Amino acid sequence: MPNQISLAFKDQCCKSTVQLHTSAENDVHEVVRQHYAKVVTSDKTVSGDRCGANGSCFAANVDANYAKKLGYTKEQLADIPNGANLGLGCGNPSQMANIKAGHTVLDMGSGAGFDSFIVARVVGPTGQVIGIDMIQEMVDKAQANALKSGHQNVEFRLGQIEDMPVDTETIDVIISNCVINLVPNKAKAFTEAYRVLRPNGRLAISDLVTTTDIPDNVRRDLALWAGCLAGASLISDLEKHLKSAGFVDIKIAPKDESRQFIKDWAPGLGLEDYVISANITARKP
């Protein structure tokens, strides 16, 4: 039996101590599910930085330019449904996805629908966007956003990205924004991504990676798992998972400038020395 890890951390927002235990993938899923369900149901609706250790308290970065810092353009941010941007990303996957009108696009870990709605304008009425998220509250929020904004080419489904409710070889492009790091079984997630892509389909991900091994005490910290930091993988491990799944043309491009906002996510912990945002692309032959 695996050793059970016990973690108590102080929730500065709610002034309570939360006791967590993990020994399996399901426990990581549950911690992440609870954390982000609380994010989407929080009455703090200001867009901003909700990842990192500060995200445990929903200490949103009130800087309205946060999305622009991640690479989103003014045009992309126009007419996004109110409440779709929860500030949960670490990059702009659509910027590197080469999405065309008529494409069917899958957003893995779609949250409240921010990236899905940006892509929906690109694929147009002849295309489709499918968002997958394992958190019911996120799916409900995204569906409500789609309804009130009139988007008819977007749908949101409940499911884990390690076992997606999507038919085989039906997707042209997969995007994902700062979600793979939250998944305990990354190899399975990439195998699923490969399954649902059509031949010559593409994967475009913004996520966190590590340039060196993260200390064990960080890996065991569930608050930092939920905060997008402790679950980040070594670049070499991600390359291995992608190759094993069958992907080719794999490119992982770290963004050194991201170390500044990562420093803000976990002040004083020095995790910016280990963790960095990266653009990840690959193709199914």
pLDDT above 50: residue 49: no
Confidence of residue 51 (pLDDT cuts 50, 70, 90): low
What is residue 42's predicted lDDT score, i.e. its pLDDT? 73
Amino acid at 110: S
Query: What residues make up the domain containing 111?
Result: 5-283
In eight-state DSSP terms, residue 24 is S
Q: Taking Cα atoms as reference points, which of 97, 112, 74, 278 lies closest to residue 197? A: 97
Amino acid 79: pLDDT: 77
CATH of the domain at 141: 3.40.50.150
Lowest-pLDDT choice from 30-34, 70-74, 111-115, 232-236: 70-74
pTM: 0.84
User: For 219-269, what is each residue's pLDDT tens digit?
Assistant: 877 778 888 888 899 999 999 999 999 999 999 999 988 888 888 887 888
Residue showing tokens 């810092």: 69
Question: Residues 111, 138: contact at Cβ < 8 Å?
Answer: yes
User: Are residues 145 and 113 in contact, defined by beta-carbon separation less than 8 angstroms?
Assistant: yes
Please say whether the beta carbons of 60 and 46 come within 8 A.
Answer: yes
Domain count of the chain? 1
3-class SS at 58? coil
The chain-wide mean pLDDT, for the chain, equals: 83
Decide if 277 contacts 256 (C-beta within 8 A).
no
Query: Rounded to 5, what percent of the chain is helix, strand, coil?
Result: 35, 25, 40
